Amino acid sequence: MTEKPILETNPADAQLMTQKRLVILRTMWLDGPNIWTYRSCIEALVDIQELEQFPSNLLPGFYERLTTWLPGLVDHRCGIGEPGGFLLRVREGTYAAHMLEHIVIELHTQAGLEVGFGKARMTSKEGVYKMVFRTPDPVVGMACLEAGVRLLHAAIEDTEYDLQAELKTIKRHCDMHGLGPSTQHILDAAYARRIPIVRLNDGNLVQLGHGEQQQRIWTAETSKTSAIAEGIASDKDLCKDLLAQCGVPVPEGEFAKTAERAWEIAQEIGLPVVVKPVDGNQGRGVSLELDKQTDIEKAWALAYEESYSGVIVEKFIRGVEHRVLVVNYQVAAVSRGELVCVHGDGQSTLQALIDQQINTDPRRGETEITPLKTIRIQTNPVVSLEVQRQGYTADSVVPAGAQVVIERNSNASEDVTDLIHPEIARLCCTAARVVGLDVAGIDLVCEHIDQPPKTQSLAVVEVNAGPGLLMHIKPAKGQARNVGKPIIESLFPGEANGRIPTISYSGGDEILGFGPELTEILQDQGHRVGLACDQGLVMNGRVITITPSANWQAGRNCLINKNLDTVVMQVKASAILSEGLPFDRSSLAIITSLGSINGLDEWDILNREQHFNVMRTVIDLVLSSGHAVINADEVSLLPLKELCDGKVIWISAIADNPVVDEHVKNGGMAVVCQGDSIHFKGNRAEAEARTPISLRQPPLNLIKTLALAASGWAMDVPHNLLRADIRQRY
């Protein structure tokens, strides 16, 4: 944070601070690249009022209260680049906006969210700061910001603060609005491949890539997950029949329409048996190793409550339950299950023993981020039936040394991926192929995962669509597996990244009409273009609206349209400042001037240097494989060359512009006007025989003409066609 020198104030004056507070004047959700960061964040305009006269070193007891509530602040590096840096600043004296930034980041961390980015900067108005922090969701971010303000005030005023209650509220917002751990894990793998990510709803439906190159995921279901395959997997009886017909060992069983029929089937196939819903998942309503009529009939009732389609009774297979994750018909991870038991002490009730011996496990909880769930006998009918079969209830005192089984299934928690026998692996892949699932969770019961199937009791008991990934991401024992990586590789094989050409352009009056004209050139070459600009929103030649559409929403509408293979978007400073940009990177960026600064004082942009720092965002986003077309005649734009990761194409209306000449001399590309012709310069121009394009008449807007020519070149428009397009206009 850029700060003014700490004021010399009499510490006794700090007693007057008991009612001094900061005020949040405005917040903005910047959903995409912006002036602060490439990723989504919240920018808050903060007025610290009288706190401007009271930095942290002049607030008695503030440091002690803050670090007591948030000891994790010790890890914040701040300006010195090492742990403890921020707290050093607090001891020496820093201002309220800076402290709020770090408090909000730490609240994210305490809620289980890794954000780690924030800044606080002074504005032109005394005591008013811009404070920004990264957050995965605007609702979650605002909850952290509001809780952070309350904590800061409590630490200043020495009042009570219930941190756990605040964190509980934040976590509830995370559960309601945040992505689930399986989805987030897949997105992390996509981000590592620099594949664009677009969240499509408040749940776990996410688009990967843009336009016609996109794929979609919904937790562990993908665009390649067949609806028919999902239907087969959910119909356990049908799934088992198909597997058996293809030689996959499955437990013998039948559909039971009534509890009485369930007992009859159990006697026919032999005890013990398993009773489960036809269309269940995640182990709900499944009861194992039943051998008494009353237990089987009770289990049927439990399974029936969980099912839309009925109940299956099948032979119980001796062995240990495993979950085998198959991605693109290859084994990606294997987890081994375990019986969940407690041991009596002769004094505690069964539920108390569960709370002491099981629910204290940090892997258990009520949120999606915990791989195992808290066990409550009274609210879990399957567990209740299980303990009743052993002669217990929740309130029973278990004798010392006695073991009580609490759960027999859905407890896969130990990674055994490296142990799976090749024949078992092939068997599981076959099961996934039979059903037709690109991502499948195979529930396998066997005695030894590392031995051949023929030497042991073994059966595939279920094939699941959209399997949970948390057991593989955070196993209780063994190695964590990056199962998101093979899912992404199956959706985007090889070097594919889901990108389509994304073109942004910026400037002043000289760029008027550029987007529609460039779109026509690209459409002439067969591109299906989405255009979002001041003239409206057009998708593949169809006018959606003629209202000004140089904004985040219109650009995003183009990016999610599967019918488009190219997007052209006008980028304005006001959109960067107030919304962020809808695309993460661009393949081509055109900037002919900084444009007008009028109206930007709303965001405290008051001079050309600040204006430049906003508009550089356009060039910052160019891919290393992309191009930037920049007006070399605008001196203010010359520093942009060093900010571009791709190749720069200078344009100039001056035949002997020294910047252009030096650039071309060093192997660069340029498009310039010489006499009544447009000339393409550089080694690539010579190799492609990019001869001059003579103009029939001087264009009214020469810079725009040069920008069109340079953009067509960057987009590999054949030279004869580009010449025809340019001459048709001029």
> Mind listing the pLDDT tens digit for each residue in 547-566?
999 999 999 999 999 999 99
Is residue 278 included in any domain, yes or no? no
pLDDT for 434? 98
Which position has the higher pLDDT, 274 or 436?
436
- Within a 10 A sphere around the Cβ of 374, how many other Cβ atoms? 15
Are residues 676 and 694 in contact, defined by beta-carbon separation less than 8 angstroms?
A: yes
Q: Which of 477, 496, 515 is the last residue of a domain?
A: 496
Same domain membership, residue 519 and residue 490: no
Q: Which pLDDT tens digit goes with each residue over 376-410?
A: 998 888 788 788 878 889 999 998 988 888 887 65
Q: Which pLDDT tens digit goes with each residue over 482-491?
A: 999 999 999 9
Same domain membership, residue 239 and residue 132: no
Q: What average pLDDT score do residues 113-123 get?
A: 92
pLDDT for 369? 62
Q: Which amino acid would we find at residue 63? A: Y
Same domain membership, residue 492 and residue 510: no
- Within a 10 A sphere around the Cβ of 237, how many other Cβ atoms? 17
Q: Which of 496, 525, 553 is the last residue of a domain?
A: 496
Q: What average pLDDT score do residues 617-637 get?
A: 97
Q: What average pLDDT score do residues 219-223 get?
A: 95
Is residue 272 included in any domain, yes or no? no
Q: 15-19, 272-276, 383-387: lowest mean pLDDT where?
A: 15-19
- CA distances (Å), origin 162, targets 43, 103, 106, 141, 413: 26, 15, 15, 19, 34
Is residue 41 included in any domain, yes or no? yes
Q: What average pLDDT score do residues 454-477 get?
A: 93
pLDDT for 18? 44
pLDDT over 50 at 645, yes or no: yes
- Within a 10 A sphere around the Cβ of 415, how many other Cβ atoms? 21
Q: 11 falls in which pLDDT band (50, 70, 90)? A: very low
pLDDT for 57? 95
pLDDT for 237? 84
> Residues 6 or more apart from 328 whose CB is under 8 A from it?
438, 439, 486, 489, 490
Same domain membership, residue 656 and residue 568: yes
Cα–Cα distance between 663 and 391 in angstroms, integer? 86
Q: 26-35, 160-169, 274-283: lowest mean pLDDT where?
A: 274-283
Q: What average pLDDT score do residues 97-104 get?
A: 97
Same domain membership, residue 508 and residue 472: no
Q: Which of 450, 476, 496 is the last residue of a domain?
A: 496
Same domain membership, residue 41 and residue 82: yes
Same domain membership, residue 594 and residue 479: no
Q: Which pLDDT tens digit goes with each residue over 29-83?
A: 999 999 999 999 999 999 999 999 999 999 999 999 999 999 999 999 886 778 8
Helix %, strand %, coil % for the chain, to 5? 40, 25, 35
State the Cα torsion 636-638-644-646 to the nearest 10°. Answer: 130
Q: Which domain holds residue 244?
A: 221-251+317-339+408-496
Same domain membership, residue 326 and residue 472: yes
Cα–Cα distance between 463 and 359 in angstroms, integer? 29
Are residues 527 and 516 in contact, defined by beta-carbon separation less than 8 angstroms?
A: no
pLDDT for 280? 65
Is residue 267 included in any domain, yes or no? no
Is residue 283 included in any domain, yes or no? no
Q: Which pLDDT tens digit goes with each residue over 657-690?
A: 999 999 999 999 999 999 889 999 999 999 999 9
pLDDT over 60 at 16, yes or no: no
Are residues 447 and 457 in contact, defined by beta-carbon separation less than 8 angstroms?
A: yes
pLDDT over 80 at 282, yes or no: no
Are residues 304 and 255 in contact, defined by beta-carbon separation less than 8 angstroms?
A: no
pLDDT for 340? 84
63, HSE (Cβ side, Cα atoms, 13 Å): 16
pLDDT for 700? 82
Highest mean pLDDT among 127-136, 177-186, 276-285: 127-136
Residue 591: in which H helix or E strand, if any? strand 586-591
pLDDT over 50 at 710, yes or no: yes
**Which of 39, 112, 139, 141 shows the shortest CA–CA distance to 470?**
112
**Which of 193, 401, 220 shows the shortest CA–CA distance to 327?**
220
| Secondary structure of residue 545 in the 3-state scheme | strand
Quote the Cα angle for 661-665-668, to 5°. Answer: 90
Is residue 282 included in any domain, yes or no? no
Same domain membership, residue 537 and residue 469: no
Q: What average pLDDT score do residues 245-269 get?
A: 93
pLDDT for 411? 62
Same domain membership, residue 425 and residue 481: yes
> Residues 6 or more apart from 111 whose CB is under 8 A from it?
140, 144, 167, 170, 171, 174
Same domain membership, residue 565 and residue 422: no
Q: 113-117, 517-521, 616-620: lowest mean pLDDT where?
A: 113-117
Tallying the residues shown for the chain, one arrives at 730
pLDDT over 60 at 2, yes or no: no
pLDDT over 90 at 534, yes or no: yes
Cα–Cα distance between 506 and 508 in angstroms, integer? 7
- Within a 10 A sphere around the Cβ of 123, how many other Cβ atoms? 15
Is residue 56 included in any domain, yes or no? yes
Domain count, the chain: 3
Q: What average pLDDT score do residues 276-284 get?
A: 73
Same domain membership, residue 533 and residue 487: no
Cα–Cα distance between 99 and 67 in angstroms, integer? 12
DSSP state of 187: H
> Residues 6 or more apart from 359 whose CB is under 8 A from it?
374, 375
pLDDT for 10? 45
pLDDT for 9? 41
Question: In this structure, what CATH number is given to the domain that contains residue 529?
Answer: 3.40.1190.10
Is residue 302 included in any domain, yes or no? no
Q: 442-456, 562-576, 634-648, 696-710: lowest mean pLDDT where?
A: 696-710
